[in-house]
Structure formats: C-alpha cells, structure tokens
Structure 1
C-alpha cells in the first residue's frame, strides 16, 4: 500500500471502494484515521453512526447548560505522538486547564488521601492495626517463592494483606467492576492499582502524615471548553471531510467479512481491503453473522456504566474544595466514584448570571419557590456499575444517588438541585475476567485472518490499555501494522507501554525504544 495517495473510488452512488475502512470515530478510530491521513498511499474512509465523533470519550450537555463526560476522563499520556495530535487539535494554552490531582477515599466519614493503601495513617486506630498486620504478613510471605497469583483477589492479599483487602480493595473493586475480585485475573494490573511500601506506610503512621502523588495521572489537563468530547471533535476536524461519514450515512448494518464489504444504513456498500473495527468485538461478530465467533465472544464479560450528573446552585462548599475525583467503597451510596466536574473547567456549568429553577432540594422536598434565580453553580458527576452479578435499581437510581451524596456529606439536605442527568452506557468496562485471555487469544487472530483489526477499549477488550491515549494509539499502531508490518506495541506489550521503559519511548522512536527494552529484558517479539 505504498506510493502516492489513492483516492476513494466510487463505483456509483451506492458503492464505495477503499483500501482501509475504519468503523467508529472514538479515540481508536480517529487514531487510525489520523495515521492513514499522514501516510502516503492507501485510500481510506471512517464511518460512525453518531453525528458527533468521540465515542466513549464524548461529552453531553444538559438543557440547563451543565456538561458531563461519559465517565471520569482526564488527559495524561504515555505517548508523544498522542500529545502532538492533541496539541494540534487544541493548540492554544487557553484551550486547556492544568490540574494537580486531589483525590480521596471516603471511609467511615473520613476523607482518606489516595491511594488508600499508602495512607493507613489517616484511618481510625482500630482499622490501622488489622491493615498493618495484614501488610506485615504479606511482606513476610512474599519472601516465599510462589506461583503467580491465580486471580485479582490473591494479588490483593499478597500485596496489601487481609486488612486493606477487607476494608477497601474488595468492596471498592466490586462496586467498580460489578464482579467479585475472585473472578478477575491479575495480569491487567500494571500501574492501575498501587502496591503499598511498608516502610513508608509505617513512617507515615508514626509521623501522622499522608502520602500522595502515585500513578500516571498525578497531574492532568482538561479542555477549557466542551469537555473531553471537544478534544475528539477537534481531532476529527483536522481530517478531510470527504473521508468521513457520520450519522445515518455511517451506521454499519452488516459486515460481510468474506466479501470484504460493509453495508451502511443509507444503503451504501463500502468495499474494503483491510478493516479496522472499533465496535465492541461481541457486537462486531454479531454484525458479521459468524456463529463460531459469536459463540467464542460469549466468554467475554462487561459491565454497564451509569453516569449521573447533579447540578447545584450555590458557591462550591469549602468541604468540597479543589477535590478532583473521589472513591466510595462503602454501601451507603450506589456510586463508586464521584468527580467534581465543575472543578475541571469553569465552563462545565452555566455562568452565574443564568437563571434556573430549583428542581428539588437534595432531600427530595419541593423548593419553596418556582422562580428562576441566578447562580453560581457547581456540579458532581457520579459513576455506578451494573452487571448480571450486580443489579441496579434503575428506576430509583437518581434518588438513591442523591441520597448517597447526602450520606457521604457531598451535599446537604437543603441544597438546591437545578439539573439532573442520567445516561447508561451498556458497554462501560471491559472486565479482565479469568477467561478473558483465553477468548482474546483465539478471537482477535481469527478476525485478523479475515483482514479485520478489532481494536479499542471494547474492540480489543484489554482494560489495561483502555485509556484515551492507549485507545488512540491502538488505532495508530493497527494502521502501521497494516501498511508497514510494524509491531502493535500497545496491544501486545501493555507492560512495556505502561512501564518505566516508556520514559525512553517518549523521547525515542517507539521501535527503537522497544528494541532496547527487549535487549534489557530478553523479551522475544511474538505478538500475542
């Protein structure tokens, strides 16, 4: 596919011929399209059933003018290429706000600094003792050579001990994943879950101080306008319009893998040579009507994410302060995470001069007046997980969530709520279950044998490389593999991408950094 840029061939009004078809205009699809537009050679087209690009990184706006992302998204990056594309799309300093993460865990009425397992000093004394005993036992037992942990729960016990497992990691992860930790594998963890440093934890208890700054998102940036979705709208705007079909003209009805053609909702047939699909892989194989692959995909598990938004009139309370996102392991609220979305940008809520009615008080009572009044305003975004193993009372979820905000001192009973938002995203989290790798190691190669690269948060179903930067690069690297035969590092070597070696990779060519990484660690290049 090298040589001069080939144009899209249109056989007639209802048929299009391209070298590479990209399905989906979320971060992965846009990464593929961006790379294809840079490469001199293949013709390409990107399609999406949504009118607005962004996928699971989009942003909704309520009628009252409050913005809510599809879950808690922030921009931090493992890749210079990703940074460059984002900076091209939103190039001005005024396009961004930069933040230091201020994050806590709500536990027994206390705000425990994140990560919880490094801040045992903030717990009541009666909880510090079992947590420290468990950590000490875990360190002593770590001296014994054992097989890798059989599941996530065993990893938790080996690294954190029984105390932290019981008070935080088990209940919190069940609320997030909607499956027990015993049904999840441990290979996905990487930089996702902090392992405690016993010496530092002990020192912090004695000195009565907190520890913070862990993880790749200790600092992050956020768009000044339009929420996270504005990033991807802006990236899409850098692509040629003739190579995009969104809305009803981009809705995929059928994927004929044998005939290498896709039927779109408006009746158009797109003939392709290679296909990059960012649809959830279970939906993709159903669209292909491939019974073997549909049966195989049934081994994949996912949870639904409910995003709840609450817009409040009044000055942001001092107890909320500059908090970014907060974790809730206890059962006094249905949500596992809350984001103070108004803190990310002053444009995530209406201007103070806008007049809005009070819909209700936080305790559910009616306001004393139906008069429209000015702000200021602030907002909270909540996330609730649901699965067959963790049902949710959808009919009462908003009421239960607002009561949960009162229970956790996020809201006071008399606070004026001027806007509410609720949207359920069927595929919210691709769950790293014990069965996942066995399915993916069969499913993804079988699709690739049909010249289909299934990539993205749910396209390749690997949560450990499911952030926005990862997802974007899954699309970029799929195209590089199609055109140049390059190794797809993000898909096949997530530990390398997320690890310390990535400091080198941000400065060097990815292939060169990976070669050095292999030399240092003796890793063969055998894509999974």
Structure 2
C-alpha cells in the first residue's frame, strides 16, 4: 500500500471472464511479482458464466461450446477441468434451420435440396446469378448485405440470410461490414449446391465447431471457475465494482471507495463504456452492440429432439434466433431423474391440472433460447403472468413459450417445471460499418495511457470473440506488456481463423505440468 492509502500493483486486470483469466494465467505462469484480478461479480466467468435455477437447471449465457485454435487454450482447460471422458463430453454438431415447417441441415446454403422445388429454383438461380455478377464486380463489397448478394444471390438472401442475420444482430445487414466473416459464415460452392439438389443429398458438418466438447458438470461457467482456482486466491478480488478511471494518474476507483494505482491496466470492460468514462463519447457512439435475452425452460419427460445441438430460426413466428438443446450437452445440466418437481405451467402458458401440478419425478430435458435486442429491434419486456405457479416474467418469455410450440420444439401439453430469463446489456459486439475507424483511433489512444482494452467487448472484434480467442487476447496482451511482442489474435484475425485444412495453434515449451510454465513469448506453428 502507498502512504496515501492508494493500493499499488504492476498489472491490474478488470474482469474475470476468459480474457481476464487468460491474462492472469499468463502473469502467474511468468512469475510476475505484482498483479491483481478484480471483478464486480461474486465469482469468475464473465459473459461465459453459467446460472442455475432454483430447480437445478443450468443455463449458459448463450450457445457456448469448446473448440479451439490454440494448444495453449486446450492445455489450460485440460489442466483446470481434467482430461478425456472423465471430464468432458465430445459431441458431433447436429444443427438445423427451421424454415417453412421443416428442418434444413446447417449450413443452409449447402442444403437447399431440403426446400420445395419453387424455393430450390429461386436459390439455385440466385447462386448462379451471383457467381456471374461477382466475376465482374469492382472492389470489395460495401457491406454485409452486398457480400450476401454477391456470394449467395437474392434467393438465399431473402429466404434465410437477411431475416436470420437481422434476428441475430438486431441491425439490418446493410449497416454491417463484411471483414469479420472469416470462418463464421459458409460461402456457396455452386457445383456442390446443384449436385446436392440433383441427388437430394443432405450436406452438413461445415465449420470449425463440427466437433466440440462440453464439461460433464458445471456448464461453461464451471470451466472458468476451475481456471480461476489455478490462480493464487490472494491475487483475485470479487465483488469489486469499478466506477471510475483516472488515466493520467493511472488510478482505478471502486464502488467501495478503494483505489488502485497500476503500471498497466488490462480492461475487459466494454470499450464504449470506457470511452464514455474517459470523455470520448463520439468514439463510443461509433460502436454498436446488441443486447441478449437468455431464456430457458426445464421440461418433464424425455427430449424428443434426438442428437440435435443448436437450431436456427429465421422466421417471424418466434422471437428467438437460436435454440440450444442444452440437456443434450451434459446430463447434469438438468436435475437428476428422481428429483421431484411440480409443474409450474404448461408449454402454452396455461395452468397445469391438479395432477400435473403435484411434485413428481422426471426425467427432465431443457431448451435454451437466445433473443436479440437493439434500438432497431425492440423486445417486449412488460411483466406478464404465466399460468399455474410459474409467476410473472417479461412478455418475451411468454412469446418464447408460444414460439416454441409454433416451431414444434415443444407441444402444448408439455410440462414446464422451470423458467429462466436473464438480459445481458452487452450481448454481441456489432461489426458495424464504422467500427474499425473507432478501433483504429481508440485502442492506440488508450495504449498511450497504459490501458490495454481487450476481450469480447474490450476490443469489440466479434471475429475473435469466441472463448479461445478471448483467453488468448488476455495472454497475448500480457506478452505485449512484458515483452513487446505482437498481439496476433487482436491484429490478425484471419491468421488465427484459418479456413483451410490446417490448424495454426499457439505452442510453447515445455508442456504444462499442472500450470503453464514457459517463460518465453508464445510462438505459432502450422499443424
């Protein structure tokens, strides 16, 4: 402590999500003598936390799964959670789009063979038209909408890409750039699409997460609590809410009156929030985000959806854009089969019968829904009472229940034994047209004051906002602070997100014995 009562640390990390924990892990690995990790929540996890309902159903803050571009990430998680079948489920991604009362395999653009003939013709003719037009197009697409039209044509654009992406991002595709796409969106192989239609072939499995793993217990949040346990508890401080920054004096002020002076600050606070604190509202206004509503229902009975993992919903007959069959990921995402629970309401929101309302055993399954919100896409949040003893919830929860019936995810007579809702103000960092111009100015400006703003919302780069990316943003940030090395993930997303049949992963020597122990900057190799 300084004589003035201001605490001093070498590196202050604000936020204990994957980025903050990655930075803390790296500092601990290197034996740095002075660092502190703080978070306003009571435990680690950030936006990758997991909530548990009173009935014992687990819900992540969105459809998080573990797949990785980095050996460092893989080994850290194995060290924290454990290895193999004793700690993880390994699952094949089984994903579909619900459209016109049928399931279309993901990615949609490879599986138009599942559509009726009229839609097949619209989509195929549009794909051919797009291929011809793209050969003579001048320059790169001006926005995401133009990219869709150049790559997929009007048929796929109007049937799926435009409505679905508006439901996800809560902004029109014309207001988004296309540099973020990388491996996030499958393009169209025209010959393959035509062949699939002719042969009536389902063509799934595209993408980096075709195989993923999920912890046997604790949900995604359990992973990050386990990572935090690898770190010295005296270097972690929870329930500490940052309320102000003095960038010139390099002092962080917390809600309880504590002040911490730092040599370097790693902030995972949303960049727009930081910029407003520091008197740069114009830059903050140039960043856009959507909010997320996470809604969950625990249901009595056996899941009727087989091996389906997550599902996409572009139409306006439901408020959600994506649904995860969360009970499929791990048995312990639901209460034990012999747990006796009453029915709160029926799937259509009505009262249960007296017999159904009585506490009875399972088995149980669960669905997790995601609904986006923005100024362009408001969400109904007035309180509405559900039937039975389910209680009062925002109207979007009732809309989601009814939407689940409209999309055949649930039947009206299904017994809902648990209801969950949480709104995240910062859900998705939007790759808006003006984003990169702000980042080009704001991040170096903060860096001059020894502030490294990193993470899903600290850096505002959705293209490197998965859990593996986010952790490595923290790790690389520490290497930049201590060694001056380049932050590859932040600066070169296209390098760390390879689209071809090779992987580029961070490595270092020696292999981790419990805690990572290399004292050298990380290197990169192709496998």
Q: Within 5 A, what are the aligned runs for 1:313-352?
A: 313-317=300-304, 320-352=305-337
**Preserved CA contact (<8 Å) 1:137 1:161:** yes
Aligned to 2:252: 262
> How much does 1:42 deviate?
4.5
CA shift for structure 1 position 222:
0.3
Cα distance change, pair 49–13 in 1 and its aligned pair in 2 (3 A): farther
On the 8 A contact 2:38/2:236 being kept in 1, the answer is yes
Q: What's the TM-score once normalised by structure 2's chain length?
A: 0.92
Matches within 5 A, 1:439-518: 439-500=438-499, 503=502, 505-506=504-505, 513=524
Partner of 2:352: 367
Which residue matches 2:511?
Answer: none
TM-score, with length taken from structure 1: 0.92
Counterpart among 222, 229, 234 of residue 237 in structure 1? 229
Aligned in 2, Cα 1:43/1:502: closer, same or farther, shift over 3 Å? farther
Matched, 1:207 2:202: no
- Distance in 1 (alpha carbons) for counterparts of 2:120 and 2:12: 56
CA distance in 1, matches of 2:210, 2:4: 51
Task: Give the length in aligned residue pairs.
Answer: 500
Match runs of 1:129-208 below 5 Å: 129-208=121-200
Distance of 2:255 and 2:65 partners within structure 1? 33
Tell me the residue number matched to 2:106: 114
Q: Shift in Å at residue 513 of structure 1?
A: 4.0
Going from structure 1 to structure 2, the CA distance change for 1:504 and 1:392 (only over 3 Å counts) comes to closer
Shift of residue 267 of structure 1? 2.3
Query: How much has 1:367 moved relative to structure 2?
Result: 0.8
Where does residue 77 of structure 2 map in the other structure? 86
Aligned partner of 1:6 in structure 2 is none
Q: CA deviation at 1:239?
A: 0.3
Please state whether the residue corresponding to 2:64 is helix, strand or coil: coil
1:408 aligns with 2:399: no
Q: Is the 8 A contact 1:20 1:42 kept in 2?
A: no
> Please, which of 347, 370, 373 is the counterpart of residue 383 of structure 1?
370
Preserved contact between residue 299 and residue 439 of structure 1 (Cα < 8 Å): yes
Confirm or deny: 8 A CA contact 1:362 1:415 kept in the other structure.
Answer: yes
Contact kept, 8 Å, 2:70 with 2:506, in 1: the verdict is: no
Question: Is 1:58 aligned to 2:49, yes or no?
Answer: yes
> Does 376-385 or 394-403 show the bigger shift?
394-403
State the partner residue of 2:339: 354
Q: Equivalents in 1 of 2:137, 2:53: separation in Å?
A: 55
Unaligned runs of 5+ in 2: 383-394, 509-520
Tell me the distance in 2 between the aligned counterparts of 1:113 and 1:376: 28
8 Å Cα contact 2:245/2:278 also seen in 1: no
- Once the two structures are superposed, residues 180-210 of structure 1 have per-residue CA deviations (whole angstroms, 9 ceiling, x without a partner) of 0000001000000100111111111111111
Secondary structure class of the residue paired with 1:506: strand
- Computed over aligned residues only, the root mean square deviation of the Cα atoms, in angstroms, reads 1.7
Map of 1:226 onto structure 2: 218
- 1:12 to partner: Cα distance: 6.4
Q: 1:504 to 1:212 in 2, by over 3 A?
A: closer
**SS in structure 2 at match of 1:19:** strand
In structure 2, what is the Cα distance between the partners aligned to 1:507 and 1:488?
12
Secondary structure, in 3 states, of the residue corresponding to 1:47? strand
From 274, 279, 285, give the equivalent of 1:284: 274
Match of 2:2 among 11, 36, 39: 11
1:40 is displaced (CA, Å) by: 3.3
Instruction: Render the CA deviation track for 1:82-135: whole Å, top value 9, x for unaligned.
Output: 111111101242111110000000000000000000001011111000000000
C-alpha deviation, 1:13, in angstroms? 10
Q: Is the 8 A contact 1:297 1:443 kept in 2?
A: no
Separation in structure 1 between the aligned mates of residue 506 and residue 421 of structure 2, nearest angstrom: 42
